Structure formats: C-alpha cells, structure tokens
Structure 1
Amino acid sequence: MASNQLNSLELSQRFNKPLMISSRQMSWNGILVEQCQSPASTYEAELPALSEHWLSLHLGNPTHIIQKRDDRLHESILQEGDNLFIPAGQPSYWCQDKSGITCTPLFICLKPELIQQVAEASDMDSRRFEFIHCFGQQDLQLHQIGMLILAELRSHGMMGKLYVESLTQILVIHLLRHYSTLTRPIASQDSRFTRIQLQQAIDYIHTYLNRDLSLAELASVVNISPTYFASLFKQEMGISPHQYVIRQRVEQAKLMLSKTDLAIADIALQVGFSSQSHLTQQFKRLTGMTPKQVR
C-alpha cells in the first residue's frame, strides 16, 4: 500500500462528518461499512488517492454537490438511491453547497484483495479490467444491496458472518458487472464439487451448527477459495451456504422443541441463532409457525 494513499479508516475524518455507526469492530472480511451524518453547512474536501475502492450511497434529503475529475467540475443533485463510486488509486475533490439540510450517506470501502478473489473465483482475469469512476448514478439494485448491509450493521451482525459475506459477494459481482471495463459476462463455473467434498462441507456444518460459521471456515474444509465454495455449493444444493445453515438450524430447533423441555432461548443459542427473536423470525419464515406454536 502506497504511503501517500488514504486508508478508508480516515475517510469520515477527512470529510469531518460525525460517525453514526461503523463495522470497524465487527471483523467483516474485506469490507468496511460506515454511516455518517453530512453537515448542513458548506464543506470542501480534496482527497488523495484511496487505497481501497470507495462506494457512497446517498440517503436522506436531496443534496447539491460538486465533484472535480479530469480537471473539470461536475455538478449534481444527489437523490435517494444515487451513488458515488471512486476506484482505488484515484484522487477526488468534493464541494457541498450550503443547503441547510443534512443527509446520512452510507460509506462502503472494499479491499482490492477482496475484488481480486471474487474476480478470480468467477473466472475473470483481474488484470484485464478496471473499475470506472461513477458520479451520481441511480442504481436501485445497488441501493437495495446497500440497505441490506446497513440493516445487518444496525443489528450488530445478528444474521452472522455467512450472511454478510454473501451480501459482500453480491455487491462485488454487481460492481464488476456494471462499474468496470469488463465487457463479457461473468462466466459460470464448469467445475463441480465431488460428492466427497460436498459431504465433507455438509458434515462440518452439522457438527458445528452452533458456531458463527464463515465462508472462509467452510471453504477451508474442502481446500478451495470462499467465493468459489459459495458458487459451487449453490450450484449443487440450489441454495446459498447461508440459507442452508439457517434451514438446518430451524430443523434442529424443531426437533429439540418436540424432544426436550429446554427453554426456547436456550434452544436458539444451542442451534446457532444469536437470540430467541432471531430463531422465531427464521422459524416462522420457513415453517409458517412460531416455536411456541410448535411446542
């Protein structure tokens, strides 16, 4: 990492925006997510090149903003759902007019190493494309992904690492498809799990169902990359590793509700849910009933 490049941890400080919530203490792999409060007053910031890819999703009131790139000024009124995307290694200049209103943008910083992992697992040569600087583009699908990540941040990671990693992969693949010089679609994987590898992964899930399992942990069982593992698992099983784990936890809880007298809160923790309310939410979604109704 070049010493003159800005690290994402300094981003909110450079913009002088009060930090509302951050994923810094949550050990999310390759991604930093923060929501800040943008001041109502005029501000101006000239940022050196970022060491990470930076995505800003506009939330809140419409905001007039000026950006300079290629020595030209670009003006825009940012609306809910608009985004700004600055690839790593590119400096930027920002100016917000005094508007008397505040907004609460969501900052998402992605490590280049993560992008490379996803690209290679998707059969792309990471040297054959570059990300494109984007300013004020409306992208509802990207906005929806961002809102799911923000909801998970606000819940303090209630759904677990697998869920965050799945959302992160969806985000990266969306950026690769729509915000890069990539001209061909992401290739589908021709390789498949062997039956032994698939069974090893499933056995591991059942053995450690009470853990906060991660893609990296599951992938290490069969010695392949996390992104590749997620793709092959879904290809073989028809659902993502995260959804498979949730279903197995609900099935185990259903069995314990009928066979034991344990409190529902204790059952929730024993099968790997973060709380009784998380168990109830997923239980009702998959069975149409609450744990209390089943008992």
Structure 2
Amino acid sequence: MAEITEIQGRWGTVELAVTREDIRAAASWRMHEARHAVIVHLGGPMRQLETELDGVATRPSPPAAGDIWVVPAGRNYASQAHGGIIRYGVLYVDPRSLAELAGPEGAQIAPRFAHRDEFLYRAVERLAGLIGRDDDVSELLGASLGQALSLHLLQRYRADEAAPGPRGPLLSDRARERLQEHIHARLGDRIALDELAAIAGMSPHNLLVAFRRAFGTTPAQYVIAQRLRRVRWLLANSAQDITAIALETGFASHSHLTTAFRRHVGLTPRDFRRRWREDS
C-alpha cells in the first residue's frame, strides 16, 4: 500500500492540503468537489501521468515542480500516475467567496491542465510553510495569502475570460485531445498553425479563436509552455547535457533555450538543474 502523509491548513474560505506520497507502485486519484481545486506539483519524480476531466483524457508529458491543474467546482477529475516519492498541494477555494468579490457569474473559473503559474506556485509553497503555525503573524500572513490567491484566480482564471461563449468556433473534445496528442508527440519539431488547423478541421483563424477558448492561450504559447515543461523534466530527471535537451525539445540551440527558459522560469537551465538536485 502506498505511503501517504498529509498536512492541512485553513485560512478563512481557503484550505490547503499538502501530501507526500509514494507512487512507485502507481497511484490513482478522483475528485468531485463543491469547491474549486488547484493541484500544484511541489516536487518529486513523476514519470508517467494521465489525467481526465469530465471523461476527456489528456496525457501531458511528466510534470515538474510548479505545474498546476485547475479543477472548477462540480467537475469530475481523475488521474493516474507512476514515479517516485512526490509532494503536491491541493488548494481549495469556496466559490461563494469569489461570488462575494465578483458576483455569481464571476465565481466560475476555467480548467487548466499542466499549466505554469509562478505566482500561484510560490504562494502555495509559502502557504504550505505556514501550516501548523498559530502565532498572530503567521495567521495574518496566511489570511493575506489566501485572499491574494482568491483574487489571482478571479483575474487569471475566470470562466468568462476563457470559456466558450454562445457564438464562434469551438473545439470538440476529440479535436482538443488530438491537438494535445499531436503537440506532445512533436515537441522537438516545428509545429505549424496550418497543420494544427488541419487536425482540428478548421481554418487557421477559427482555430486561433477556438484554441484560446479551450486552452486559455494561443497555440504558439501552448507549444512553448509544453516544451519548457519537458525541458524541466529532463533537467531534473536525466543526465543529458543542455544542448541535447534544447534540440530534443524544439529549441535551436543552448542559448535559444536559455533565453526562453530564463524569461519563463526566472532561472537558467543550469541553475534550475543545480537547485533541483540540491533540494532532492
């Protein structure tokens, strides 16, 4: 049986559960919550991951620390994973608290899978460090972080900003899955908008609209994010040199990767690898 340890903290309407789990024998999770849930991978090797939301499956490349999954309230989420000893946090936010800030419609948030959000990641890590501390300063800091995270969800993940509306092109569940599979399988190659449009059965213009509604980002930004996720995993879990990693993940050179990595992650690939090994 998998070894699991969990700690929990609550600050007003925000709750955080941080779990350390051994998934060397594989593990599966299911979730159906009345609250919004933000799952944050905080560390540890995960070599295989499959996720599903309302019956629609995704198979992202293995996550690195800081990758997040946003599961809106009332949605059915399931996942299976295999790896080592991992640590993850689940942040729960009551939709009613968001409704008080933005009205009933504003309380709805859009799902994200294997997304990167440095503020959310670092804030959850900081909040995790406050669990079990009951001094006044820690309580005030926890309440402030909880409020900041709620506001961040409203600003960055509101469903009316990313979800499909009544008009305009939409991606079917099957088209969305096929696009993800194609992109994840071709991260080392040039991925053209025309080929993605052909897979979706749309014009390039309609794909741009439908893709943003489905994924909350443009195809180009999504591809970059997935390439960098793969880079982070290879840096943490392989001995490949950085030039080889760059070429394998679609970057033209070591310097091209370093520029993109520093812009999105805030560290060079070399520094990221060094810090990961120091923390492991």
Report the TM-score, using the length of structure 2 for normalisation. Answer: 0.51
| Residue 162 to residue 45, structure 1, CA distance change in 2 (3 Å) | closer
**1:148-182 Cα distance to aligned partner (Å, 9 max, x none):** 21121153455243322211111011111111224
1:33 corresponds to: 16
Distance 1:17 1:177 in 2: 37
Q: Which has the higher helix share?
A: 2
Amino acid at match of 1:18: I
- What residue number does 2:53 align with? 69
Counterparts of 2:145 and 2:29 in 1: how far apart (Å)?
30
CA distance in 1, matches of 2:89, 2:106: 29
Question: 1: distance between equivalents of 2:146 and 2:96?
Answer: 13
Q: CA deviation at 1:129?
A: 5.9
Q: Is the 8 A contact 2:108 2:159 kept in 1?
A: yes
How many Å separate the matches in 1 of 2:136 and 2:89? 19
Q: 2:142 aligned to 164, 171, 180, which one? A: 164
Say if 1:152 and 1:158, in contact at 8 Å, map to a contact too.
Answer: no
More divergent stretch after superposition (162-171 vs 149-158)? 149-158
1:56 aligns with 2:39: yes
> C-alpha offsets along residues 227-284 of structure 1, whole Å, 9 cap, x if unaligned?
xxxxxxxxxxxxxxxxxxxxxxxxxxxxxxxxxxxxxxxxxxxxxxxxxxxxxxxxxx
1:219 matched to which residue of 2?
A: none
In the alignment, is residue 148 of structure 1 matched against residue 120 of structure 2?
no
Give, in angstroms, the shift of residue 67 of structure 1. 0.6
Aligned to 2:99: 116
Cα deviations by residue, 1:54-101 (Å, 9 ceiling, x for unpaired): 11111112423111125332112111111111111101121113x2x1
Q: Specify the SS of the correspondent of 1:155.
A: coil
Structure 1 residue aligned with 2:4 = 18
- Whether the 8 Å CA contact 2:42–2:125 is kept in 1: the answer is no
Aligned length: 159
Give the letter for the 1:65 counterpart: L
Q: Deviations over 1:102-136 (max 9, x none)?
A: 1110121111222222x2xxxx3332562111111
CA distance in 2 between counterparts of 1:146 and 1:156 reads 18
Aligned residue identity for 2:64 = Q
Q: Between Structure 1 and Structure 2, which shows a larger proportion of strand residues?
A: 2
* Cα distance in 2 between the residues matched to 1:78 and 1:157: 35
SS of the residue 2:110 aligns to: coil
RMSD between superposed Cα atoms in Å: 2.5
Change (3 A) 1:54 1:183: closer
Residue type at the aligned position of 1:37: R
Residue 200 of structure 2 corresponds to none
Match of 1:93 among 78, 91, 100: 78
| TM-score, normalised with respect to structure 1 | 0.49
| Percent sequence identity over aligned pairs | 16
CA distance in 1, matches of 2:21, 2:113: 17
| 3-state SS, counterpart of residue 116 of structure 1 | helix
Gaps of 5+ in 2: 163-280
Q: What's the CA shift for 1:42?
A: 0.9
Per-residue deviation, 1:37? 1.4
**Preserved CA contact (<8 Å) 1:152 1:159:** no
Distance change in 2, residues 1:128/1:85 (3 Å): closer
Q: CA deviation at 1:35?
A: 1.0
In structure 2, C-alpha distance between the alignment counterparts of 1:89 and 1:44, rounded to whole Å: 19
For 2:3 and 2:136, locate their aligned partners in 1 and report how far apart those are by CA, in whole Å.
Answer: 27
Q: Output the CA distance in 2 between the equivalents of 1:62 and 1:177.
A: 31
Q: 1:33, 1:174 → 2: CA distance?
A: 16
Query: Are 2:106 and 2:154, in contact at CA under 8 Å, matched by a contact in 1?
Result: no
Structure 1: gaps spanning 5 or more residues: 1-15, 185-295
Secondary structure of the residue aligned to 1:79 is coil
CA positional deviation for 1:30: 0.9
Residue matched to 1:138: 116
Q: Give, in whole Å, the separation in 2 of the partners of 1:160 and 1:38.
A: 26
Please point out which of 84, 92, 112 is paired with 2:69: 84
